[in-house]
Amino acid sequence: MIGVLKSLTATMGTFMRKPVTIQYPTEHRKVPERERAFPILLWDFNIDEPFCTGCHACERACPVECMTVTMRDNPLFAEGKSKRRKIIDEFYIDYGRCMRCNICVEVCNFDAIAMNNTWSGHELSTVDRKELILDLDQLLDLSKRKDLQAWDPAAETRASTEGRPQPPIAQVGATEDAPAAGEPLTVAERSAEEQDSPPTP
């Protein structure tokens, strides 16, 4: 009998507390910067072209083979506006297959792919599976609109090792041929920088 009454005190106690749920579709929880939704491609505002050169690194590393990449010669390179010899031609990601393991981001040598860290990466329900296969324009759309949240994994590492000799950025598969000018910029830093400087004609 005592235990039964004790149980009732538990439920009556929680009755007095504030509800912890939120009304989801109208109210969104803030997602952290390192949220991993689905991979998207990034846009180079300096040159007005994607960062991606179509090098197939992500396609090869993808455990579920959800990517299809083709490459073409970069016309802007011929004009001398871009340093990229090759540029992405077509890029398809099947979000229905993707298992969001982040490996494509880690293997990318050009920081051209990132995980969508906004709510738009989560509310993707469609009536047809075919609509989950995204093409190049759709993949670049978010980056073009500069909606991504800023996140720099290297900065976290720097903060934790302050006052110690700086270790190399040693993510698995991290790039050896990173840009010479120190740390590679993160997605949003880059786009923020782009915003300040006028886009090249």
63 binds another protein per the rule CB under 8 A: yes
Closest C-alpha among 134, 146, 193, 159 to residue 43: 146
123 lies in the binding site for another protein (CB under 8 A) = no
- Nearer to another protein by Cβ, of 106 and 194: the residue is 106
**20 near another protein, rule: CB under 8 A:** yes
Site string for another protein, 70-99 (x = CB under 8 A): -----------------------------x
50-58, 69-77, 151-159, 191-199 -> range binding another protein (CB under 8 A): 151-159
SS3 assignment, position 91: strand
CB of 32 to another protein, least distance (A): 4
Alpha-carbon distance of 145 to 148, in angstroms, equals 8
Tell me which of 125, 164, 181, 182 binds another protein, using CB under 8 A: 164
Q: Is 119 helix (H, G, I), strand (E, B) or coil?
A: helix
CA separation for the pair 39, 121 (Å, rounded):
9
Q: How wide is the angle at C-alpha 153 spanned by C-alphas 142 and 93, nearest 5°?
A: 35
**Residue 126 is a binding residue for another protein (CB under 8 A):** no
The amino acid at residue 39 is: P
> Do residues 53 and 87 make contact, with C-beta atoms less than 8 angstroms apart?
yes
Q: How many CB atoms lie within 10 A of CB 193?
A: 12
User: Does the footprint of another protein cover residue 100 (CB under 8 A)?
Assistant: yes
Binding site for another protein (CB under 8 A): 1-4, 6-15, 17-21, 23, 31-32, 34-36, 61, 63, 99-103, 106, 115, 117, 153, 156-157, 159-162, 164, 167-168, 170-173, 176
